[in-house]
Every structure is written in structure tokens, then in C-alpha cells.
């Protein structure tokens, strides 16, 4: 369980990191970005990943920030999950993202793991991609051609794959502030506290005159990426969020899923069952919070 | 061949300069370069928590950090708990002894370092807060109840010390 050899660079600025990634790419060198290492280090130890060079973003202080900017919360990619968890701004203005952060791993993992790293890593069982789909999070990335913005809907491609180019650095994650009165919830099932989820659901629910005006529902841990459950979302529009209606929507969400993944810990059928149960609980919780 | 890197890491207050391969993990640096064997190594991929140390005051799995990443950092290991002048056990260590927080002791350094971070932040944690904080550390012997009792005892002793 020791990583294979690699060379290591820790550029002090973003510009130098981007230039270095571009140069290594041109030279045909297999280089990988290192952030908090909480996913990449296990992959190196098991030699699932064997890059020739690691480019560590840890020295780039300009990628570590949380600030409010015109109705959004901007988080630098290298901000630790611990800092996001400790941020009163995030807890107040974006409680869904805050609750999701607390579900990620254990304190040792959140101390070192970056906010950006979880999105770039795109683990299908991670909480963050589902929250990105529910909230329409926007990503900023910088590559040799400059900066571009990527909406969540275009960011996650498949299992552990995003639309980031191998030379691009994810620099910022922009969360919209949750509008006052919007209900929200995130629930998951894991074998042990802090483990990656076998299945989970995240939701926001907005009411107007007592009926559902806008519901966002996404599942994680079941398919190759997090998925929006649009059938259930549509079904709820214009309906009163009473228990029977929410249960019907949850059943619809579970039925509509593409065949879930299956492993020794949970069969496809069990995962589908979990999504129904968790979706119902999430919708109830979100409806109770909505005003 | 990879290029070795010169790094300087402060461990338990002592500066150490070494040339290391980039792939050397922090836990192997502590154990094999500095001969500090108190930090244990189990799974080597982030699952068990036995390798927990503090990096700049924050608990971290030292198998998931490279020594080169800790260049310039302040690391605290289990060897740093005991009082250097009096050689007395730290109240956390004493509490683990008295409340039977260990059997084989393999997991103990990790639990104690996580406890150190918890009690620095929260002098009087509830049982739920203790369980949440220790959730990333595994123990195959105790069944955890005596570990939770040890943390409770340590918290009380530290509060009394502060009050005194
Ligand atoms: C015991 C344990 C439990 C965990 N539980 C959970 C959990 O419940 N939920 C969860 O979501 N995660 C969990 N994780 C994973 C953890 O959250 C990681 O921190 C996270 O997935 C990656 O963030 P990182 O900063 O550590 O990135 P790294 O591990 O350094 O990098 C991960 C990948 O992303 C790429 N990358 C990172 N940052 C950038 C960037 N800025 N630009 C471009 N590419 C980048 C890297 O090249 C690499 O491929 C767990 C990990 C462990 C060890
Ligand atoms: S040895 Fe580091 S977590 Fe198991
Ligand atoms: S005391 Fe033996 S593993 Fe915990």
C-alpha cells in the first residue's frame, strides 16, 4: 500500500499551476492535480492512480475563501470542508449545502478535504454533486485558454468524470443563496456514520399559496452520476404537499430511476427501495420547513 | 527516478529537516525517518483512523498526507501528549488508563489525538458530540463504550484543571 514514485510540484500561484499543467500536458507527461488528497491519496496507495507528476494546489492561498457576492456565496476550490462547516454565512444563507458538508466523511476528512476536490472527483455516492444539481451551482475553471463558467447540469459526465479538461483547474464553486421560505432537506443511508452513502436524496421545495411552486429533487449513490428526479418534480407542481401526495411523488421518483448500481453492500432493488423511503422523508422534512 | 525534496517539519515542538521522496506519506516519515512509532499505521488508505495526528492543530489522517505537503507545518503526535518536564501522562492518557479506554492499544493513539482536537474546541461535549467526533476512528476490541467514558473523564479532568 505505498504509492508508486512521482515528481511533486507545489506552485505558489494559480497562474503558475495552470502554466505547469499545460507544459506537462504538451510534453506528454501524465500529471494530476492534488488538493486535500482525501480521495487521491487512497487511489495512489492502491495504485489505481499512477501519475508521473502531482501538482499540489495547497500553497495557492488565493483559492481559499468564502464570500458573499451579489446573491451568491463564492467558495474558493481549496477551501476546506471544515471551513465551510464552520461558516456562519453558509449555515444561514445556504443551509442545504451546510447540511451536506456535515455528512461528508469524518472530521479528519473534512479538515483536509477541499470543497472543490469533491466536485472534481465526482464520486457518484458523494452528497455534493446531488446538491449541485438541486441548487444549480455554477463552477469556475481556469485553463490555458483562460477562465470559463460551467453550470452544474453540464459539469458531471459519468462515474468520476467531469467536463473539466485535464489541464483545467477548478477555482470556484458558486452557490446561490437559498431564497427565504424555501424548504430543504438531505438524507442518506450509509452502513456507518461518515461513510459514503449507499443511497441518498437532496431536495428544495418552494410553496406559493399553499401549493408546490418549484420542487427540486436529486438522488445520489444509485447511478453513475447524481440524477435529478424530474418526473416527481413535475408531478408535485401545483399540488398541496400533504403526506399522501409526497409519498406518491417519492414512489414515482424511485420507479423512474435508471437501473441502480449493485454491489455487495446493496443490490439494485434495495437502492431503489432506499430512494423511495429517503425521498418521502426528505420531501416531508422540506415541506415542514417551507413557508 | 524522482527528485527528492528538502522539507522542514516541526514535530512536537522540534524542527526536523530531511530530504524525502515525494511519495513518502507523513505517517511513514514520522515512523521511519524520525523513529516516532507512537503513531500507528493500519489500513494505509484512510479508513481506520489509527494514524491520526494534528497538523497545525487539526486532526488529520497521516496516511492520507504526503510528508512534502506538511513542509512548514506543525505536527503533534501522541508522543507530544506527555508533559516534557514532569514526564506525567496527559489527562487524556490518564483518563484512557483509568476508564479502560484501551485493550490491545492499537487504535489508542488515533483516538487520543482526535480527542485532543475535540476537547480543545469543546470543553464539555455531550455523548452524541463525542460519538460524532470519534466516528472516524475504529476499534476492534473495546466496543467503544469505555472509550466514550474515557473522553468524558478526560473532559472533566481538563475542566477541573482549568478551573483550578
Ligand atoms: C474515510 C473517508 C470517508 C469519506 N466520506 C465521504 C463522504 O461521505 N462523502 C463524500 O462526498 N466524500 C467522502 N470522502 C471523500 C472526501 O470528501 C474527499 O475530500 C473529496 O472527495 C476530494 O477532495 P480532496 O480535496 O481531498 O481532493 P483530492 O483527493 O486531492 O483530489 C480528488 C480528485 O479531484 C481532482 N481535483 C481536486 N481538486 C481539483 C481542482 N481544484 N481542479 C481540478 N481537479 C481537482 C484531483 O486531481 C483528483 O482527481 C471520504 C474520504 C475518506 C477517506
Ligand atoms: S492507517 Fe491511516 S486511516 Fe488507516
Ligand atoms: S483497543 Fe484494540 S483496537 Fe482498540
Instruction: Identify the pLDDT of residue B84.
Output: 87
Of all residues in chain A, the percent with pLDDT exceeding 90 is 97
- Answer with the one of B53, B80, B107 that is the final residue of a domain: B80
Whether residue B31 is contained in a domain is answered as yes
State mean pLDDT over A59-76. Answer: 96
Cβ neighbours of A15 (radius 10 Å): 12
State mean pLDDT over A122-139. Answer: 98
Q: CA A62 from chain center: how many Å?
A: 22
- Closest listed residue to residue A205, CA positions, set A284, A137, A260: A284
- Closest listed residue to residue B66, CA positions, set A178, A41, A171: A41
- Closest listed residue to residue A82, CA positions, set B65, B62, B58: B58
Whether residue B20 is contained in a domain is answered as yes
- Is the per-residue pLDDT at A220 higher than 90? yes
State mean pLDDT over A280-286. Answer: 98
In this structure, what are the phi and psi dihedrals at residue A187, rounded to the nearest 5 degrees?
A: -140, 145
State mean pLDDT over B98-126. Answer: 98
Q: CA B36 from chain center: how many Å?
A: 12
Helices in chain A by DSSP H: which ranges?
A: 14-26, 40-45, 81-86, 88-93, 95-103, 107-112, 115-121, 127-135, 152-155, 230-236, 243-256, 268-289
- CATH code, domain carrying B70: 3.10.20.30
Q: Are residues B76 and B99 in the same domain?
A: no
- Closest listed residue to residue A23, CA positions, set A165, A141, A148, A144: A144
3-state helix, strand, coil in chain B (%, to 5): 40, 15, 45
Q: Are residues B121 and B61 in the same domain?
A: no
Q: Name the strands in the sheet holding A211-220, side by side, starting at the edge strand that comes first in the sequence.
A: A183-189, A199-208, A211-220, A227-228
Q: Are residues B14 and B50 in the same domain?
A: yes
Give Cβ neighbours of residue B145 (< 8 Å, ≥ 6 apart). none
Give the single-character DSSP code of B29.
I
Q: Do the Cβ atoms of B22 and A44 come within 8 Å?
A: no
Q: Are residues B107 and B139 in the same domain?
A: yes
Q: Do the Cβ atoms of B2 and A7 come within 8 Å?
A: yes
Domains and CATH numbers, chain A: 7-55 (3.30.43.10), 64-176 (3.30.465.10), 183-289 (3.30.390.50)
Q: Are residues B70 and B36 in the same domain?
A: yes
Q: Are residues B32 and B76 in the same domain?
A: yes
pLDDT tens across A145-182, in order?
Answer: 999 999 999 999 999 999 999 999 999 999 999 999 99
- Is the per-residue pLDDT at B164 higher than 90? no
C-alpha cell at B64: 492520507
Instruction: Identify the pLDDT of residue A16.
Output: 98
C-alpha cell at B35: 523513529
In this structure, what are the phi and psi dihedrals at residue B129, rounded to the nearest 5 degrees?
A: -65, -35
Instruction: Identify the pLDDT of residue A95.
Output: 98
Strand bridging mode A66-69 / A72-76: antiparallel
Ligand 1 neighbours (beta carbon < 6 A): A 32-40, 42, 57, 77, 104-105, 109, 113-114, 116-118, 120-121, 123, 126-128, 164, 169-170, 194, 196; B 46-47
Whether residue B42 is contained in a domain is answered as yes
Q: What is the C-alpha separation between B133 and B116, in angstroms, rounded?
A: 11
Domain ranges, residue B22: 5-80
pLDDT tens across B62-78, in order?
Answer: 999 999 999 999 999 99
Instruction: Identify the pLDDT of residue A1.
Output: 84
Q: What is the DSSP string of A7-46?
A: EEE--SSHHHHHHHHHHHHHTT--EEEESS-TTHHHHHHT
Q: Is B21 on the interface with A (CB under 8 A)?
A: yes
Q: Are residues B95 and B137 in the same domain?
A: yes
Q: How confident is the model at residue B1 (pLDDT cuts 50, 70, 90)?
A: low
Whether residue B153 is contained in a domain is answered as yes
C-alpha cell at A257: 430511476
- How many structural domains compose chain B? 2
Q: What is the C-alpha separation between A290 and A175, in angstroms, rounded?
A: 19
pLDDT tens across A90-113, in order?
Answer: 999 999 999 999 999 999 999 999
State mean pLDDT over B87-104. Answer: 97
> Does the ipTM surpass 0.90?
yes
In this structure, what are the phi and psi dihedrals at residue A148, rounded to the nearest 5 degrees?
A: -140, 160
Q: Are residues B107 and B137 in the same domain?
A: yes
Look at residue A2 and give its three-state secondary structure.
coil
- Contact indicator for A172, A140 with CB cutoff of 8 Å: yes
Q: Are residues B49 and B98 in the same domain?
A: no
- Closest listed residue to residue A273, CA positions, set A258, A251, A248, A256: A251
Q: Are residues B75 and B110 in the same domain?
A: no
Q: What is the C-alpha separation between B164 and B23, in angstroms, rounded?
A: 47
Whether residue B73 is contained in a domain is answered as yes
Name A46's bridge partners: none
Whether the model clears a pTM of 0.80, i.e. scores above it, the answer is yes
Place of cell 492543530: B57
- In this complex, which of A44, A54, A111 lies closest to B60 when CB atoms are compared? A111
Q: Is B63 on the interface with A (CB under 8 A)?
A: yes
Cα–Cα distances in angstroms (integers) from residue A126 to residues A73, A103, A115, A147, B98, in the given order: 21, 9, 12, 26, 40
User: Mutate which of A3, A45, A108 to disrupt the B interface (most B C-beta within 10 Å)?
Assistant: A108
Q: What is the C-alpha separation between A40 and A38, in angstroms, rounded?
A: 6
- The alpha carbon of residue B55 is apart from the nearest alpha carbon of chain A, in Å, by 9
- Is the per-residue pLDDT at B2 higher than 90? no
Cβ neighbours of B126 (radius 10 Å): 10
Q: What is the mean pLDDT of chain A?
A: 97
Whether residue B85 is contained in a domain is answered as no
Q: Is the CB of B47 under 6 A from ligand 2?
A: yes
Whether residue B86 is contained in a domain is answered as no
- CATH code, domain carrying B148: 1.10.150.120
Q: Are residues B34 and B58 in the same domain?
A: yes
Q: How confident is the model at residue A193 (pLDDT cuts 50, 70, 90)?
A: confident
Q: Do the Cβ atoms of B58 and A6 come within 8 Å?
A: no
Q: Are residues B109 and B130 in the same domain?
A: yes
State mean pLDDT over A127-138. Answer: 98
Q: Do the Cβ atoms of A37 and B3 come within 8 Å?
A: no
H/E stretch holding B148: helix B145-163
- Contact indicator for A268, A261 with CB cutoff of 8 Å: yes
- Answer with the one of B80, B102, B137 that is the final residue of a domain: B80
Amino acid at each position: 500500500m505505498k504509492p508508486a514514485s512521482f515528481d511533486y510540484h507545489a506552485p505558489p500561484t494559480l497562474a503558475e499551476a495552470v502554466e505547469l499543467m499545460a507544459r506537462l500536458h504538451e510534453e506528454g507527461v501524465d500529471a494530476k492535480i492534488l488538493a486535500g488528497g482525501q480521495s487521491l491519496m487512497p487511489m495512489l496507495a492502491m495504485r489505481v492512480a499512477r501519475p508521473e507528476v502531482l501538482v499540489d494546489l495547497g500553497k495557492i492561498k488565493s483559492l481559499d475563501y468564502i464570500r458573499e457576492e451579489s446573491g451568491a456565496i463564492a467558495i474558493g476550490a481549496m477551501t476546506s470542508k471544515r471551513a465551510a462547516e464552520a461558516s456562519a454565512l453558509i449555515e444561514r444563507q445556504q443551509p442545504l449545502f451546510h447540511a451536506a458538508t456535515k455528512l461528508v466523511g469524518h472530521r479528519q476528512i473534512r479538515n483536509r478535504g477541499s470543497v472543490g476536490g469533491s466536485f472534481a472527483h465526482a464520486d457518484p455516492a458523494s452528497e455534493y454533486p446531488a446538491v449541485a444539481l438541486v441548487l444549480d451551482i455554477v463552477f469556475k475553471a481556469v485553463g490555458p485558454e483562460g477562465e470559463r463558467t460551467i453550470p452544474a447540469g453540464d459539469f458531471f459526465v459519468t462515474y468520476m468524470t467531469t467536463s473539466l479538461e485535464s489541464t483545467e483547474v477548478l477555482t470556484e464553486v458558486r452557490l446561490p443563496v437559498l431564497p427565504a421560505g424555501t424548504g430543504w432537506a438531505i438524507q442518506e443511508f450509509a452502513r456507518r456514520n461518515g461513510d459514503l452513502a449507499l443511497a441518498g436524496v437532496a431536495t428544495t421545495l418552494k410553496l406559493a399559496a399553499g401549493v408546490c411552486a418549484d420542487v427540486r429533487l436529486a438522488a445520489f449513490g444509485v447511478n453513475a452520476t447524481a440524477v435529478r428526479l424530474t418526473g416527481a418534480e413535475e408531478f408535485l407542481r401545483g399540488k398541496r404537499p400533504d403526506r399522501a401526495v409526497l409519498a406518491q411523488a417519492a414512489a414515482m421518483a424511485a420507479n423512474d430511476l435508471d437501473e441502480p448500481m449493485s454491489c455487495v453492500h446493496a443490490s439494485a432493488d434495495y437502492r431503489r427501495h432506499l430512494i423511495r423511503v429517503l425521498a418521502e422523508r426528505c420531501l416531508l422534512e422540506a415541506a415542514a420547513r417551507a413557508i | 527516478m524522482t527528485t527528492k525534496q528538502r522539507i522542514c517539519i516541526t514535530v512536537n515542538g522540534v524542527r526536523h529537516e530531511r530530504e524525502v521522496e515525494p511519495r513518502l506519506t507523513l505517517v511513514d516519515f514520522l515512523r521511519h525517518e524520525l523513529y516516532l512509532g507512537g503513531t500507528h499505521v493500519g489500513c494505509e488508505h484512510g479508513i481506520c483512523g489509527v494514524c491520526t495526528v494534528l497538523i497545525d492543530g487539526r486532526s488529520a489522517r497521516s496516511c492520507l498526507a504526503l510528508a512534502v505537503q506538511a513542509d512548514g507545518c506543525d505536527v503533534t503526535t501522541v508522543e507530544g501528549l506527555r508533559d516534557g518536564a514532569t514526564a506525567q501522562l496527559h489527562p487524556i492518557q490518564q483518563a484512557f488508563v483509568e476508564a479502560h479506554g484501551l485493550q490491545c492499544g492499537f487504535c489508542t493513539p488515533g483516538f487520543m489525538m482526535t480527542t485532543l482536537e475535540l476537547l480543545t474546541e469543546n470543553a464539555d461535549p455531550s455523548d452524541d458530540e463525542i460519538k460524532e467526533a470519534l466516528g472516524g476512528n475504529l476499534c476492534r476490541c473495546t466496543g467503544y463504550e469505555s472509550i466514550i467514558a474515557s473522553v468524558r473523564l478526560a473532559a472533566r479532568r481538563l475542566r477541573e484543571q482549568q478551573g483550578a
